[in-house]
Homo-oligomer: A and B are copies of this chain.
Amino acid sequence: MKRYEDLSPSLRCIMTPGPVEVDPRVLRAMSFPVLGQFDPEFTGIMNETMEMLRELFATGNQWAYPVDGTSRSGIEAVMVSLIAPGDRVLIPIFGRFGHLLHEIAERCGAEVQVIEKTWGSVFDADEVIAAMDSFKPQVVAIVHGETSTGRVQPLAEIGRACRERDALLIVDAVATIGGVPVETDAWMLDAVIGGTQKCLSVPSGMAPVTYNARAEAKLLARKQVERGLRTGSEREGGLPPVRSNYLDLSMLQDYWSPLRLNHHTEMTSMLYALREGLRLTLEEGLAPRFARHKLHEQALLAGLAAMGLELYGDPASKLTVVTCVLIPEGVDGEAVRSMLLERFGIEIASSFGPLKGLIWRIGTMGFSCRENNVLRLLGALEAVLLRHGHILPAGQGVQAALDVYEAQGG
């Protein structure tokens, strides 16, 4: 029999748009012994997590809980539960993850209309509203922070327009939650999906979602209690049942409610991690946390500029937590990334589709978003670029970042 070695992963400085480094306190939380899923102590932890998620999403919604899967499972859960087959769904696309929303909506059996914006920019609210007025969607689904292009889409006006036109607005805030403001109630977002492995700095594995009473009404119209647990006919509404069992929010909310109607077996250790990540986030405070993300972005930008590197995309819509850097002419982007990882233990990201080979993507998210990481990265990137024969003003990048920190008293 083959003997497998002890697990012993290397320590990395992870400056990608996720997954990012995890606070040791969150890692420690996962090493606690597990509780049973219906142990009152455990259901207490579930309730506390819901309370913390309401704060995170800036909402008074009753429903705020994690879907048990990666971020994408949360997106699909919201879409498959809120989009009935045949529904008209409008999807404004300004990067790769907009295409994912299109893909999922299509698999839900929706009649999809997309509008596309050139990558590197975002929509004016008017463009989305005009499309709504012509297509008259029941659902609009849009990405808040596009990690593929490093852009952030303003949502307040779109939210109001959806409310006025009685469309449900679904927002993918996977990349933004915990790093930049996501105002669920103030912006009138009907359903929002957050990610764990980005600005919350919890390992990948859960997808916090929230949705309001308008969204819940649609869920209840599709609700069907599971075979094996039914006591009567148990169809409550007139719309067709959700096509998924695992991702059916009408069932998940019964599990997360005092009913505790058995569904899946809640992921104990991931929930411990999420609760600890949320505790640390709320202890830091959302506003100071957003300010921290802004500060380290500014230091990074100053450093990159001082090295003579240029950024990709429209500056007006830049997403604080992802910085897209144009790979300089003549430089092999993948060779630079490999050397950063292999010699310095620092990871930055490549890119998707039309941007492949053209940009690097640098994340400043959550626990990874801190001064020593920014300074290490700038120093290492300079050294690697010099090693690849790229000419730049040596020494300037780190100095410029230090200037930003010192100006802020950092």
Contacts and interface: CB of A to CB of B under 8 A. Distances in A.
This chain's copy number in the assembly: 2
Given A12-B36, A100-B226, A228-B353, 15 more contacts: A4-B52, A10-B35, A16-B36, A19-B268, A27-B31, A68-B204, A69-B73, A69-B264, A70-B246, A72-B264, A73-B264, A100-B227, A103-B228, A203-B270, A267-B270
Contacts of A353: 228-229
A36 B69 contact: no
A48 interface: yes
A11 interface: yes
Nearest to A267: B205
B22 A71 contact: no
Given A48-B4, A228-B103, A264-B71, A27 B29 contact: no
Most buried by B among A12, A197, A203: A203
B31 A30 contact: yes
Interface string A215-235: 000000000001111000000
12 contacts: A7-B29, A9-B32, A12-B35, A24-B33, A27-B31, A68-B70, A70-B266, A72-B264, A100-B245, A204-B268, A205-B268, A270-B270
Nearest to A109: B243
A116 to B, nearest CB: 11
Interface string A198-212: 000001110000000
A33 B37 contact: no
A347 B36 contact: yes
Interface residues of A, number: 92
A174 to B, nearest CB: 9
B4 A76 contact: no
A81 B205 CA distance: 21
A91 B9 CA distance: 43
Interface of A: 1-4, 7-12, 14, 16, 18-19, 21-22, 24, 27-37, 39, 41-42, 45, 48, 51-52, 68-73, 76, 80, 96-100, 102-104, 106-109, 197, 203-205, 226-229, 241-247, 262-270, 272-273, 275-276, 278-279, 282-283, 285, 341, 347, 352-353
Query: Closest 5 CB pairs between A and B?
Result: A99-B228, A30-B30, A205-B267, A70-B264, A203-B269
A35 B9 contact: yes
B246 A73 contact: yes
B244 A107 contact: yes
Most buried by B among A12, A245, A246: A246
A7 B228 contact: no
Contacts of A9: 32-35, 41-42, 45, 272
A55 to B, nearest CB: 8
Nearest to A29: B7
Most buried by B among A11, A32, A245: A245
A245 B100 CA distance: 9
